[in-house]
Amino acid sequence: MPEALPSALSLDDHSGVSRLLVVTAHPDDVDFGAGGSVAGWVKAGIEVAYCIATDGQAGGSDRSMARDAMGRLRREEQTAAARELGVQDITFLGYADGQLSPSIDLRRDVSRVVRRFRPDRMVCQSPDHNWDRIGASHPDHRAAGEAAVCAAYPDARNPFAHPALLEEGLEPWAVKELWLMASPQPNRAVDITGTFDAKVRALRCHDSQVAHEADLEERLRAWAEGGARAAGLEEGRLAELFQVVGMPASGSA
């Protein structure tokens, strides 16, 4: 785990945040990376929405299941997991699992969701390799992260980017805060001690992916304990870590 964070930057302050959008590559990514945080944000009265690039057709270990059937199942699992955390608004973009790239089309489609939902804070996967946690740096994760970062700046705020969006009546929107999950350089922590159980329940909804993991809760707890130690929280606390990226002023293009 990373070294302890500066105390002035360690904990989330979500004052001024009323809407929050999470962008990920696959169903279950948000629950692994930020499920406890999402539960806490919803409890605080923040409206949270998800944008998920693929249906996760390449997931699971059942070779007898048709891939389109796996995709449908994983949409259902993600919808159930979102309900566990209090999230109702989910956009599935339908890109092919395992073949994601930060294309102009993906940037446009994420920008469409940003302009529709108009979030104050956007959470996405880090586009950078994390060599300490290579599993978090799946190529699809990094592709979704890169597209989301480009959507946050400059695409969604630029009226001349993706002109089709203006034709759809979607005006530009400037995201105020950009948070990266699984970043190799975290600088913010969210205390999830009170929402850890909700995170576990959400992940248990992804039965096609985690049914074989008898030690799932123990593994998640170990990660969260490490995050809390890195943030300098007292013994017994649990935390999820993020890198918060400075965003240009709203008028900047």
Handedness of CA 165, 171, 172, 177 (dihedral sign): negative
Residue 26 has pLDDT above 60, yes or no: yes
Between the alpha carbon of residue 163 and those of residues 23, 105, 193, 216, 248, the distances in Å are 22, 12, 44, 45, 22
Whole-angstrom distance, CA of residue 90 vs CA of residue 233: 33
Q: What is the per-residue pLDDT across 105-143, written as a single tens digit (0 to 9) for each?
A: 999 999 999 999 999 999 999 999 988 888 888 999 999
Given a contact cutoff of 8 angstroms between Cβ atoms, the answer to whether 141 and 206 are in contact is no
Q: What is the per-residue pLDDT across 60-70, written as a single tens digit (0 to 9) for each?
A: 777 788 888 99
7: exposed, middle or buried (Cβ count in 10 Å: 0-12, 13-18, 19+):
exposed
Q: What is the per-residue pLDDT across 41-90, written as a single tens digit (0 to 9) for each?
A: 999 999 999 999 999 988 877 778 888 899 999 999 999 999 999 999 99
Neighbours of 219 (CB within 10 A): 10
Whole-angstrom distance, CA of residue 58 vs CA of residue 66: 10
Determine the pLDDT at residue 196.
98
Q: Which residue has the tokens 């935390």?
A: 239
How would residue 149 be classed by pLDDT, with cut points 50, 70 and 90? very high
Between the alpha carbon of residue 158 and those of residues 112, 117, 122, 209, 251, the distances in Å are 12, 16, 17, 38, 10
Architecture of the CATH domain 7-245: 3-Layer(aba) Sandwich (3.40)
Determine the pLDDT at residue 73.
96
The whole-model pTM stands at: 0.93
The H-or-E segment that residue 223 falls in is helix 216-230
With CA atoms as reference, report the closest residue to 41 among 7, 12, 5. 12
